Amino acid sequence: MNSANRFTMTTMGSVQWLVFLLANALALPVVIGSVFHLSHVEVAELMQRTFFIVGLSSLLQGWLGHRLPLLDGPAGIWLGIFIGVGGLASAQGTDLKLTLQSLEFAMIVSGLILIFTGWIGWFQKLLFLFTPLVTGSYLMVLAIQLSGTFMQGALGISKNQPTPHLLEAMVSIGVVILVFSLSTWGKGWLKSFAVLIGIVFGWGAFTFIGYHADAPSITGWFQLPTPFAWGMPIWNGSMIITGILVSLVLMSNTVASINAVQKTISDTTIPSSKVLNRAGLMGGVTNLLSSVFSTVGMVPLSVAAGFIRMTGQKERRPFLIACGALALFSFFPIITGFLAQLPGPIAYATLLAAFPTMFGLGLNTVLQEPLDARRMTILGIVISMAVGIMSLPEKFFQVMPTIVQSIVGNGLLVGMILSILLELIWKPEKR
**What is the residue-level pLDDT of the chain in tens, covering all 431 positions?**
567 677 777 888 888 888 888 878 888 898 899 889 998 889 889 999 999 999 999 999 999 999 999 999 999 889 889 988 888 888 778 889 999 999 999 999 999 999 999 999 888 788 788 888 998 898 899 889 888 888 888 888 876 677 778 888 999 999 999 988 988 888 877 887 888 888 889 999 999 988 877 666 666 788 899 999 999 999 988 889 899 989 988 998 898 888 888 887 876 656 778 888 999 999 999 999 999 999 999 999 888 887 787 677 788 899 999 999 999 999 988 888 888 888 888 888 888 888 888 888 889 889 988 889 999 999 999 999 999 998 888 777 777 777 777 778 888 888 989 999 999 999 887 76
* Polymer length of the chain: 431
Contact 27, 347 (CB under 8 A): yes
Query: Residue 298 — φ and ψ, nearest 5°?
Result: -105, 160
Q: For residue 206, give the nearest of 339, 338, 340, 346 by alpha carbon.
A: 346
Amino acid sitting at position 203? W
3-state secondary structure of 80: helix
Phi (first) and psi of residue 248, to 5 degrees: -65, -40
Report the Cα 158 to chain-centroid distance in Å.
Answer: 22
Residue 73: strand, helix, or coil: strand
Q: Indicate the angle between helix axes 132-155 and 76-92, nearest 10 degrees.
A: 50
Distance CA 429, CA 288 (A): 42
- Report the alpha-carbon distance of residue 76 to residue 87 in Å, rounded: 16
392: left (phi over 0), alpha (psi -120 to 50) or beta: beta
Q: Helices (DSSP H) in 267-302: which residue ranges?
A: 273-292
